[in-house]
Amino acid sequence: MQTERNNDVVGYIYGNVGSTEFKFAVNSEHIRKFDYVYAPHKEGNMLAQILDIKQHSDLNFEDATTIMGQEEQPHIKTKVSAEVEVIGYRDKRGLLQSPRTPFNAGSGITKADESLIRKVLGLSAAKENGAYLGLLKGHELPVYLNIDQLVQKHISILAKTGGGKSYACGVLVEEMLKKKVPLVIIDTHGEYRSLTTKNKSKKDKKNMERFNIKPNDYKNQITEYSPTGARGNFEHLTLNGVNLEASEILDVLPAKLSGPQKGVLYQAIKEIKEYKSYYTLRDIIDGVGRSKSNARWNVIASLESLDSIGVFSENGTDPKDLVKSGNCSIVNMKGVPPDVQTVIVARLTQQLFEQRKAGKVPGFLLIVEEAHNYCPERGFGNVVSSGILRTIASEGRKFGMGLAIVSQRPAKVDKNIVSQCNTNIILKVTNPNDLKAIVQSVEGLTSKTADEIQRLPIGVALISGASLQMPVMAEIRPRETQHGGQSVQISKKGNNPEFIPQKTAPQPPKNPVQQKPEPKSTPSPTVSEEKPKKHATEKAERVTRVANRLGWISTTNTDEAIEFLTEEAKKMDENVFKYLESLSQLAVNFCHETDPNCIKCPMKDGCNYRAKRGKTKKKGLFKRK
């Protein structure tokens, strides 16, 4: 039992005293808002938290106005008081109880020790079985959340844009990987591939010692997939499109079918199954086309739209490859159209859920970034992935499939899903609608708590659930890996990776197509001055003209020129469109069709066209490198 010592007393209770809240006069400089304190009570060791601190003075308005004209400020008497909310105590059975009688005025208040805080708040998880998220606000007390309860009872991570939700989720993923928990991440913006890189941030390194962590990477546990195809370190994600049932197709169709249209679909699949034990989406489209019903045309249009996504194949990615013990599979959706993303999430999640129910994959955690896009609240849209995510939120825990939703717009996320999340990590939120949605959906939060959420510093989170008896505030620890969701600093030179200045000289192709040498006696017009094909776009004509004059190609056919330059850009690992655009800008700014401004052109030293022009005026002045 924590005992009171006079030299440890930080204040005394005064005024009207209740059983759930009271005030005390502060006589210590070390008391801060949100500190935990011990309050003596006849029923047990009471833990309380300071919600507000106020300074009282004897300075009134009239006296304050007279100070303005004085050179020296007079002595002002001040006193400090603190407003406290009582959390409670643990009874003999270990249950959290609230006092039923008021506290005594004049009782001394002391700062709570670590053991009392841990016992009453329920911070029982340890390093061996917990996820280390950071330090308790105002205390150097590590906050560990029970891994099993995190995965089994679902998680929500909510914050405004720039509030640190992706950063906090990255910390959580690192902890899961340490404990070998299988993970599948729906990565909308391609932020989580940075888990393969150690944290090099100088700012974070200063804090790492305080949080007792070191830079690390998890590249040996990460596999990244992309629906757009295999490239670099990406694996190609495809969905099984063989032997699809009508109900499965209806679940992922972007447009809803009417009753007669559904009938056409069911009948077509029934007829196909009578003659084929193995059929694809194209077979279904052909089967619907053979129907005599006029309703078939809308069905065909919907199926063609589904097939055009390009992610359905005869050999889809095996869920067993996605869910492996100790591994994290990242589904990178960057560059994928939003409507296609929802179809992929719907079908992929359905397959993973079925495999988990059948016991074919181990228990795992599915993390959905930008969850408001995949399971929006009714009234904010209707997408095909909403249904299966609602099912997992309500039934997934029975089968060992956990769900973590991450969103910057809590008001736009399906409230049924948020309310099913027992663990909530809430960072700074200021939008009134989002605050209202959080209070309505998250247990244990009050209007006072909502006010505090608006004032949370960046990097501080309000955490509830996961064996915690009440919400606590914690400073999120630094990431061990590089943070992939940081904003681009446009104002600082060199920090905008998407921007390429117009005057940046394009690199010549590795295998340039050489022009045939011109006869020395009578120079003939260069091929670049021949009129291009009439059907070509103006930009293609400009690119062809510049590439010809540089000596990189010899054809005047714009289609051939663009095709060749595209392939060369790929070989040099250049962005094709930026590469072609740089050539186009050379044409606009310098390499005009008539009277080109060769003097200022950044490619002048390696240009065949200028070398030829120079030889006719002043031999030996220009040489092509």
Mean pLDDT of the region 520-528: 42
Lowest mean pLDDT among 118-132, 377-391, 438-452: 438-452
Mean pLDDT of the region 203-213: 89
Mean pLDDT of the region 550-565: 85
pLDDT digit string, tens, across residues 181-200 = 999 999 999 999 999 999 98
Mean pLDDT of the region 224-248: 87
**Band of the pLDDT at 265, cuts 50, 70, 90?**
very high
Q: What is the pLDDT of residue 348?
A: 95
For 576, list phi and psi in degrees, rounded to 5: -55, -50
* Between 154 and 539, residue with greater pLDDT: 154
Q: What is the pLDDT of residue 486?
A: 63
The domain 527-617 having CATH identifier 2.40.128: the answer here is: no
Residue 113 pairs in a beta bridge with none
pLDDT digit string, tens, across residues 366-409 = 999 999 999 999 878 788 899 999 999 999 989 999 999 999 99
User: Which H or E run includes 240?
Assistant: strand 239-240
Mean pLDDT of the region 243-251: 90
* Between 178 and 568, residue with greater pLDDT: 178
**Band of the pLDDT at 493, cuts 50, 70, 90?**
low
Residue 110 pairs in a beta bridge with 9, 38
Q: Strand 312-313 vs strand 239-240: parallel, antiparallel, or unpaired? A: parallel
Q: What is the pLDDT of residue 495?
A: 55
Percent of the chain with pLDDT strictly greater than 70: 87
pLDDT digit string, tens, across residues 29-79 = 888 888 999 999 999 889 999 988 999 988 888 888 888 767 677 778 889
Question: Which of 608, 585, 601, 606 minimizes the C-alpha distance to 529?
Answer: 608
Q: What is the pLDDT of residue 521?
A: 43
C-alpha distances out from residue 453 to 75, 162, 435, 458, 462, Å: 37, 14, 8, 11, 7
Quickly tell me which residue has 């990477």 as its tokens.
217
Mean pLDDT of the region 563-570: 80
Q: Are 364 and 356 in contact (CB under 8 A)?
A: yes
- Longest Cα separation, the chain: 113
Domains 130-237+317-476 and 527-617 are alike in CATH topology: no
**Average pLDDT over all residues of the chain:** 84
Question: Which of 521, 400, 320, 483 minimizes the C-alpha distance to 151?
Answer: 400
Q: What is the pLDDT of residue 198?
A: 94
Q: Which tokens in the block code for residue 17? A: 């005293």
* Between 34 and 275, residue with greater pLDDT: 34
Alpha-carbon gap, residue 362 to 368, rounded angstroms: 19
Question: Which of 508, 580, 586, 596 minimizes the C-alpha distance to 540?
Answer: 580
Alpha-carbon gap, residue 131 to 471, rounded angstroms: 17
Taking 60 as the threshold, does the pLDDT of residue 492 lie above it? Answer: no
Q: What is the pLDDT of residue 520?
A: 44
What letter would DSSP give residue 216? -
pLDDT digit string, tens, across residues 526-553 = 444 444 344 567 878 888 988 888 888 8
Three-state SS sequence of 515-529 = CCCCCCCCCCCCHHH
Q: What is the pLDDT of residue 125?
A: 67
Lowest mean pLDDT among 85-89, 138-142, 441-445, 463-467: 441-445
Question: Which of 24, 1, 211 minimizes the C-alpha distance to 112?
Answer: 1
Q: What is the pLDDT of residue 517?
A: 47
Q: What is the pLDDT of residue 274?
A: 77
Mean pLDDT of the region 110-130: 85
Q: Strand 401-407 vs strand 423-426: parallel, antiparallel, or unpaired? A: unpaired
Mean pLDDT of the region 169-173: 95
Lowest mean pLDDT among 426-430, 434-438, 612-616: 612-616
The CATH homologous superfamily to which domain 130-237+317-476 belongs is: P-loop containing nucleotide triphosphate hydrolases (3.40.50.300)
Q: What is the pLDDT of residue 184?
A: 97
Q: Are 417 and 373 in contact (CB under 8 A)?
A: no
Question: Which of 251, 186, 184 minimizes the C-alpha distance to 221?
Answer: 184
Domain ranges of the chain: 6-121, 130-237+317-476, 246-313, 527-617
pTM: 0.73
pLDDT digit string, tens, across residues 302-353 = 999 888 888 888 888 999 999 999 999 999 998 888 888 999 999 999 999 9
**N-terminal to C-terminal alpha carbon distance within the chain:** 85
